[in-house]
């Protein structure tokens, strides 16, 4: 069996690896580290949770141990799609390079440009960045990429999903003259990713330790089919089903990540879990960086049991002891399912992944099963009982002003035989009360004697001529048996003026 000592890593790096407790490299590490140390380009394809980060950090530290960086000219560059993944890579460098004098800088959003510029001015050996923030510094003239010797693209398929491919291509072109080596890692190989590797990688050593888009065999997967009893109860019943699924796992669920497709659902689900006594907190892209970091730290340290997340947290969370992953929604992109459940069952541990599939998500479920080339076992179903008063209150819609006014109008128009007299005092029983007659002056300046009669050009007659208020005269077309009071009132005010 291959050991880290067999991979030609520097003694200082080996010492740091031993201090972290690792002795045997994972398949992707054993396959990628030797060609990376030789200076070859590397194309690594492996599912999430297999140790891809150490596959490039260990050889980079060994190679960068000799040399010194110049101001604003980093010697190596690591691109990550999210802040969380960039922070995770930085933590790996801190752990494995503690016996080597290497400087690093982290360029991510949520941190002031001034602080990052100060680090760049001193010169860094390792620059870890998200594409957007990196290009921001480059366009400001605060960063030169002409000294990059090693470039790493981590989670390339996630870069594709987030629309970073144009930025990646631009960065490749900027570093083309100085870059000597490229290490490219991805969990899946979409056609666009293959095009980039053919364009920018030079005869890479391809290491594929698992079929693209496969899930770990140590993860017990299941899906609960959900059908709401009524459309207006769907959200409440789905949240209740989530709580039932969590409770069914019992004490075996020591901690878990709950994934939602939409940021709004992340907040609602986290709030609902907290309301019912579950120790939960949300994390998504709209939260400020300090809140996200504090929430992640709390989850890592075991102070927080349930982390409700959007796909911003599907990558880069290296928390080995996550026991469960609950997919509140079937992911819209089938590849995200692989990355979501990859948060559990890490480092050889067993894990559990449970997904809730509503009727609208069944097509997405088919896409997931087609991608992983296996059927996910079905388990359980939706709750049959009606929601409790607390649950119903979560979904109680707020009445609009228009609906309240319609309700008042309907009550005012109920017939007398229903036992409710909606008419004001002095009104005839045959119909709504007639407003007082207001004489209207004719063109000659004198009243024509007809109630609310129109006299402009002789085109109209007073409503007294053909009103439906009494037994005589035809009904007003389109108004039923009476004319609504608010229309009469508006006519009175206009005619009186």
Kindly write down the DSSP assignment for every residue of 317-350, as one continuous string: ---TT--EEEESS--SSHHHHHHHHTTSS-TT--
The closest of 122, 131, 87 to 102, measured between CA atoms, is: 122
Please write down the HEC assignment for all residues of 204-258.
CEEEECCCCCCCCCCEEEEEEEECCCCHHHHHHHHHHHHHHHHHHHHHHCCCEEE
Q: Nearest 10 degrees: CA dihedral of 136, 137, 138, 139?
A: 50
Highest mean pLDDT among 104-118, 120-134, 197-211, 292-306: 120-134
How would residue 388 be classed by pLDDT, with cut points 50, 70 and 90?
low
Q: pLDDT tens, 421-461?
A: 444 443 343 444 444 444 444 444 444 444 444 444 444 44
Domains of the chain: 4-208 (3.40.50.300), 219-395 (3.40.50.300), 401-496 (no CATH)
pLDDT band at 485 (very low <50, low <70, confident <90, very high): low
Please determine, for residue 93, whether its predicted confidence score (pLDDT) is greater than 80: yes
Average pLDDT over residues 178-188: 90
Q: Which has the higher per-residue pLDDT, 1 or 135?
A: 135
Provide the pLDDT for residue 23: 86
Burial of 67 (0-12, 13-18, 19+ CB in 10 A): exposed
Contacts of 346 (CB under 8 A, 6+ apart): 49, 318, 319, 320, 322
**495 vs 343, higher pLDDT:** 343
Tokens of 453: 């009669």
Whether 159 and 189 have beta carbons less than 8 Å apart is answered as: no
Of 239-243, 460-464, 488-492, the poorest mean pLDDT is in: 460-464
Burial of 378 (0-12, 13-18, 19+ CB in 10 A): exposed
Write 272-277 long-range contacts (CB < 8 A, 24+).
272/239, 272/394, 273/242, 273/243, 273/306, 273/308, 275/390, 276/243
Band of residue 17 on the pLDDT scale cut at 50, 70, 90: very high
- What's the whole-number average pLDDT of the chain? 80
Say whether pLDDT at 392 is over 70.
no
Look at 6-15, 83-92, 286-295 and tell me which has the smallest mean pLDDT.
Answer: 286-295
Confidence of residue 386 (pLDDT cuts 50, 70, 90): low
Taking the C-alpha atoms of residue 71 and residue 287, their distance in angstroms, rounded to an integer, is: 33
Q: Quick one: pLDDT band at residue 244, thresholds 50, 70, 90?
A: very high
**Distance between CA atoms of 462 and 452, rounded to whole angstroms?**
6
Identify whether the C-beta of residue 276 lies closer than 8 Å to the C-beta of residue 242.
no
Averaged pLDDT, 71-98: 92
The answer to whether 166 and 131 are in contact (CB under 8 A) is no
Residue 166: CB atoms within 10 A of its CB come to 9
pLDDT of residue 277: 96
Q: SS3 of 44, please? A: strand
The sheet carrying 42-45 orders its strands as 104-107, 126-129, 76-79, 150-153, 181-186, 42-45, 205-208
What pLDDT is stored for residue 190 in this prediction? 82
137-182 per-position pLDDT tens digit: 999 999 999 999 999 999 898 888 788 999 999 999 999 888 899 9
Q: What is the pLDDT of residues 467-478, one digit of tens each?
A: 444 444 454 455
> What integer pLDDT is reported at residue 381 of this predicted model?
56
Going by C-alpha positions, the residue among 451, 435, 450 that lies closest to residue 486 is 435
d(CA 355, CA 226): 10
Mean pLDDT for the stretch of residues 90-104: 93
Question: Does residue 74 register a pLDDT over 60?
Answer: yes
Token pair for 118: 């100060």
Compute the average pLDDT of residues 224-229.
94
How far is 217 from 416, CA to CA, in rounded Å? 73
Percent of the chain with pLDDT over 90: 50
- The H or E element spanning position 351 is strand 351-358
**Predicted TM-score of the model (pTM):** 0.64
Which helix (DSSP H) or strand (DSSP E) does residue 128 occupy?
A: strand 126-129
Average pLDDT over residues 57-81: 93
Structure letter (DSSP) for residue 100: S
pLDDT of residue 421: 43
């Amino acid at each position: 069996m291959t050991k880290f000592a067999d991979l030609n890593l520097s003694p200082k790096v080996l010492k740091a690896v031993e201090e972290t407790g690792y002795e045997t490299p994972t398949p992707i590490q054993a396959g990628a580290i030797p060609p990376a140390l030789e200076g070859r380009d590397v194309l690594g394809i492996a599912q999430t949770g297999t140790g891809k980060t150490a596959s490039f950090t260990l050889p980079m530290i060994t190679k960068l141990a000799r040399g010194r960086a110049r101001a604003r000219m980093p010697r190596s560059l690591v691109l990550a799609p999210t802040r969380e993944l960039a922070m995770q890579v930085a933590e790996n460098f801190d752990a494995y390079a503690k016996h080597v004098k290497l400087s690093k800088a982290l360029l991510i959003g949520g941190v002031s440009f001034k602080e990052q510029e100060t680090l760049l001015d001193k010169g860094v050996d390792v620059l870890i960045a998200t594409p957007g923030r990196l290009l921001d510094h480059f366009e400001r003239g605060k960063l030169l990429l002409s000294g990059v010797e090693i470039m790493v693209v981590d989670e390339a398929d996630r870069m594709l999903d987030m629309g970073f491919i144009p930025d990646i291509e631009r960065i490749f072109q900027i570093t083309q003259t100085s870059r000597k080596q490229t290490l490219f890692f991805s969990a899946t190989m979409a056609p666009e990713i293959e095009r980039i590797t053919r364009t920018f990688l030079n005869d890479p050593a391809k290491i594929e330790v698992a079929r693209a888009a496969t899930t770990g065999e140590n993860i017990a997967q299941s899906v609960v089919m959900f059908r709401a009893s009524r459309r207006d109860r769907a959200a409440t019943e789905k949240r209740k089903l989530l709580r039932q699924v969590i409770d069914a796992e019992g004490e075996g669920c020591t901690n878990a990540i709950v994934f939602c497709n939409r940021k709004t659902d992340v907040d609602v689900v986290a709030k609902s879990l907290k309301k019912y006594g579950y120790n939960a907190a949300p994390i998504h892209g709209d939260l400020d960086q300090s809140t996200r970091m504090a929430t992640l730290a709390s989850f890592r340290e075991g102070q927080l049991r349930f982390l409700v997340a959007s796909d911003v947290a599907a990558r880069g969370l290296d928390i080995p002891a996550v026991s469960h992953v609950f997919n509140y929604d079937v992911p819209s992109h089938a590849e995200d399912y692989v990355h979501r459940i990859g948060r559990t069952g890490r480092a050889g541990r067993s894990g559990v992944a449970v997904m809730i599939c509503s009727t609208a998500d069944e097509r997405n479920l088919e896409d997931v099963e087609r991608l992983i080339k296996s059927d996910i076992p079905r388990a359980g179903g939706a709750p049959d009982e009606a929601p409790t008063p607390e649950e119903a209150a979560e979904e109680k819609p707020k009445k609009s002003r228009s609906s309240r006014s319609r309700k008042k109008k309907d009550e005012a128009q109920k017939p007398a035989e229903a036992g409710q007299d909606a008419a004001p005092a002095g009104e005839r029983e045959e119909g709504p009360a007639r407003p007082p007659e207001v004489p209207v002056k004719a063109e000659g300046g004198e009243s024509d004697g007809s109630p609310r009669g129109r006299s402009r050009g002789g085109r109209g007659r007073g409503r007294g001529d053909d009103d439906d208020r009494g037994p005589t005269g035809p009904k007003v077309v389109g108004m039923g048996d009476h004319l609504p009071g608010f229309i009469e009132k508006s006519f009175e005010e206009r005619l009186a003026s």
